[in-house]
Structure formats: C-alpha cells, structure tokens
C-alpha cells in the first residue's frame, strides 16, 4: 500500500513536471528559470490555459480581460465586502469566491484568476479600517494587486510579486491540485474545484507554511543564537519551517528564484537586512539538520524565501496563503480543464482493517 499515495501515478498531464532528484521544475515545456522574471503572470496564464478553452485570446488581450475581470469582481462583491472581515483574511477570500458562478467558461476562469488578487487587498484594507481601492483594469495584474493593497507600488516590488506568481503557478500533483482534480472529476464547476484547492492550501503542511517562517525568524533573532534555537526545536520534535519537501531531494529550484528576487529588492534597506539575517539562519538550519537527520537530505524549500518576498511586498503573514492562491489558481484551473478533457471520476480503493462482524449462516 502506498501511504500518502507516494509513487502512485493518478494523472497524466502536460502542465508541469517536478523533477525531485534533479531539482528542476518544468511548466508546459519551459523551465522555471526561463519563465520566472521573464514572462508576465498573464502570459503564463495563457500558457497554462492553451488548448483548454476555445478561442483563447493573445497575451495582451488576455491580460486586458483579466484586468476587466478584476473590476467585475470588485463591483460584484463590493456590497458583501463589509461582512467578510469578520472572518480571517483567508476565510474571507474563500467566502467571496464561493459567491461566484460555478461555470466552465473562460470568463468564469478569469473571474477566479482575478478574485484572490482583488479580495486579498480589499479585506486587508477593511481590516485596517481603510476603504478598499477600486481595481485598475489597465494595470498589470501584480502591480494592481499591490496598488490595491497600499497605493502605487515601486516597479521593483511589482516585478518581484509578478515573478512570485509565476514561480508558484503550478507544481505537479500537489495536495491542492489533486483536490481540485478530484472535485472536477465529479463534473462540478470550476468554482467548486477551486474551493477544494483553497481548502487544501490552507493547511500548514501545504500553503500555510510561509507564515511560520516569519515567526521562526523573529524567534531566532530574539534568541540571538540560531543554531541553539534550531537544535532545541528539533529535540522537541518540531518541524523547521521552510526546509524539506515531499518530492525534492535536493534544493527546491523555486527557493533560488525567489532568493534572487529578494536580493534584487536592495541590500541597504530593511529587506536587505532581513535577507542577510535569513541567509545566516538558512545556513545554520542546513548545518543543524545535516547533523540531526543524517539519513535524510533536507534542503531549503519555496516557503523560506516566499516569506521574505511577501513580507517585503507589504503583506502580513496571515495573508501569505492568499497570495500563494493568487498564483496557484491558474494551475488549478488548467488541471481542472485537463481532468475534464482526459480523466474520469476519481475513485481510489481502500483496504478495510477494522473489526469483522460475526456473520450468521
């Protein structure tokens, strides 16, 4: 039996390939390093959607359509926004998305692309007692998300967030993507499928990990001794957040992409100081883990530098999973459409190991 479905092939896909042994990520025939920092998020959405929607427009037209979808989402959900901050920011985003039509069209898909980017800054602003800002349909997706959060962003921050969204857009058959495909296989609509992905992403072992990275860095900085703090956590049986991955047995390639992005934000400001400290913690963690768990190769994963990038962009740690979802939603939709086109109802078997009743002859 495959515990946790390890090594079980549950789908054939053209969308992404995670090479855990070599430390490579391929997205629709392109390496991550070819895409991240070079392709805009809207272009990668088109790459993922190609072949799954009829009459898919070109890059510029699709990005305009995503911009229009942001405005539509804001206008559609604005009357309900005042009620959503009673929830945490992730649950508020999920509740807003649950109000969208459960359709299958490209317009439905673009609304789902737009929704996390609109709802997250709106809910954060409302939580601070500020009025949400109306989307700008003409703006780049990442730029507009930051503008709606805190005003006009610097080009460097907008570029950094855009690179992040591209970096996390798809990653094989991870827990949230598999949940999306399971729900899609029942012939439920795209909104239902995305809500399943959002539910899986909330867990601390999946999309919820970057927030605890910030807590870890703050605790280590307060302690003054990274190695001692890390050894104590391991001795208590705690996980070191931002390290280790279910698939990668070498360094997560997304970690290096995001580390470079954070470095480009500057070395003289708070982001630079935070990066220098994080690099010290990273090396200490790798050294401690090598000694504590010599039988395993535990390397830096995407969550470690995700935390630094999103913190620098102005997002509080409770919204990190929201921003992850804003990038990953493109992959979820593409997988949902692929499942509809090539898959069938997902219904694995289980092995009963409970008590057996006495059968009367």
8 A C-beta contact, residue 157 and residue 147: no
Phi, psi of 149 (to 5 degrees): -80, -50
| 72: helix, strand or coil | helix
Residue 216: both structure tokens together: 């870890």
The span from the CA of 17 to the CA of 328, in Å, is 15
Of 233, 303, 311, 338, the active-site residue reads 303
β-partners of residue 25 are: 18
Element (H, E) at 306: helix 302-312
- The single-letter DSSP state of residue 202 is T
Active site residue 311: no
Element housing 25 (H / E): strand 24-27
Phi-psi region of 258 (alpha: psi -120 to 50; beta: other; left: phi over 0): alpha
Structure tokens at 33: 């390093």
Packing angle of the helix pair 175-184, 190-201 (nearest 10 deg): 150
Q: DSSP string covering 35-47, please?
A: HTTTS-HHHHHHH
Q: Considering 141, 171, 206, 245, which one is annotated as catalytic?
A: 245
User: How far out from the chain centre does Cα 41 lie?
Assistant: 13
Phi–psi pair at 87, nearest 5 degrees = -95, 165
303 an active-site residue? yes
The catalytic residue positions are 245, 303
């Amino acid at each position: 039996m495959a515990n946790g479905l390890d090594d079980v092939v549950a789908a054939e896909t053209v969308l992404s390939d995670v090479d855990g042994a070599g430390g490579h990520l391929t997205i629709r025939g392109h390496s991550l390093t070819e895409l991240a920092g070079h392709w805009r998020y809207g272009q990668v959405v088109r790459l993922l959607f190609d072949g799954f929607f009829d009459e898919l427009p070109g890059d510029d037209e699709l990005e305009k359509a995503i911009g229009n979808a942001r405005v539509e989402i804001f206008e559609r959900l604005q009357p309900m926004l005042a009620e959503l901050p009673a929830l945490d920011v992730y649950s508020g985003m999920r509740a807003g998305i649950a109000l969208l039509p459960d359709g299958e069209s490209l317009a439905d898909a673009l609304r789902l692309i737009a929704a996390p980017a609109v709802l997250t800054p709106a809910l954060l602003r409302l939580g601070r007692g500020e009025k949400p800002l109306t989307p700008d349909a003409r703006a780049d997706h990442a730029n507009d998300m930051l503008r709606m959060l805190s005003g006009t962003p610097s080009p460097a921050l907008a570029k950094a967030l855009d690179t992040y969204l591209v970096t996390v857009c798809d990653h094989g058959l991870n827990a949230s993507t598999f949940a999306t495909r399971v729900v899609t296989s029942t012939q439920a609509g795209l909104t239902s499928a995305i809500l399943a992905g959002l539910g899986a992403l909330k867990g601390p072992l999946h999309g919820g990990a970057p927030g605890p990275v910030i807590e870890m860095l703050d605790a280590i900085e307060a302690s003054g001794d990274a190695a001692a703090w890390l050894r104590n956590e391991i001795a208590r049986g705690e996980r070191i957040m931002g390290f280790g991955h279910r698939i990668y047995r070498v360094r997560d390639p997304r970690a290096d992409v995001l580390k470079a992005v954070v470095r480009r934000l500057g070395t003289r400001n708070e982001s630079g100081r935070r990066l220098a400290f994080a690099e010290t913690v990273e090396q200490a963690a790798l050294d401690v883990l090598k000694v504590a768990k010599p039988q395993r190769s535990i390397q830096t994963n995407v969550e470690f530098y995700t935390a630094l990038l999103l913190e620098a962009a102005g997002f509080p740690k409770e919204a990190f999973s929201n921003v992850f979802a804003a990038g990953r939603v493109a992959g979820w939709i593409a997988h949902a459409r692929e499942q509809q086109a090539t898959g069938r109802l997902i219904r694995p078997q289980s092995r009963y190991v409970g008590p057996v009743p006495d059968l009367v002859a």
